[in-house]
Amino acid sequence: MTEHTLRSPEEFVAAFAGSNDRFRLYLDLQQHGTDALPAVREGLRHGNWQVRKWSAIYLDHHADAESLEALLPLLQDPKSEVRLWAVHSIACDTCKPGENPIDIVPLLIELAEEDMSIRVRRMATIMLGSQTSDSRVTATFDKIIAEDSDRKLLLHARNGLERYRVAGF
C-alpha cells in the first residue's frame, strides 16, 4: 500500500516505520484528529523508534489524559529523539486543551538534571521554564547554572529562573 492510499489511522501510524516523508504522513494523519488516538497510543509501544517518535509528536496537539499517561514510558526510551518529543508532548500545555493530569515537574527535573542527551536536558529545562509554575523548579535552575557548561542549557536555565523570579518564586 502506498502512502497515497492510506486511509485508517493504523495504516498511517504503521507507515511511520519506513516512510521517506514522515512529515507528510503526520500532516495527513491530522485529518483523523482525536479518532486517531487509539492507533497513536499503540504507536507509542511500537518496536520502531520512528513510529514511537512520530506518535509522540502527534500527541503534542491531540493528547487526552489517557494519551498523556501512555507517553510516560517514552521518557525512558533508548532513543533520545523519542525522549525529546515525549518531554515536549507531555509538558507543553500551549498546544492542548484541558489540564494535564500528570505532575510532570519531578519528571522534568530528573530529565533536566540527568538525561544522557543534552537535547533532552535542554527540552526539559525549556519546559520547566516556560510551561510550569512550581517552586520545586528553582533549585534545578540554580544547579544547572552552577554545574553545567552547555551554553544553550545555561541560557534556558537563566531564562527560566528569571521568569520564576519575576513571578515571585
pLDDT tens-digit series, residues 75-121: 999 999 999 999 999 999 887 777 889 999 999 999 999 999 999 99
CB 79 within 8 A of CB 41: no
Is it the case that residue 1 has pLDDT exceeding 70?
no
CB 74 within 8 A of CB 111: no
Matching residue, cell 493504523: 10
CB-side exposure of 31: number of CA atoms within 13 Å? Answer: 9
pLDDT band at 3 (very low <50, low <70, confident <90, very high): low
* Tens of pLDDT, residues 20-36: 999 999 999 999 999 99
Matching residue, cell 486511509: 7
Task: Give CA separation, 46 vs 66, 85, 111, 117, in Å.
Answer: 17, 15, 23, 22
Is it the case that residue 2 has pLDDT exceeding 70?
no
Matching residue, cell 500545555: 93
* Tens of pLDDT, residues 144-159: 999 999 999 999 999 9
Task: Provide the whole-model pTM.
Answer: 0.92
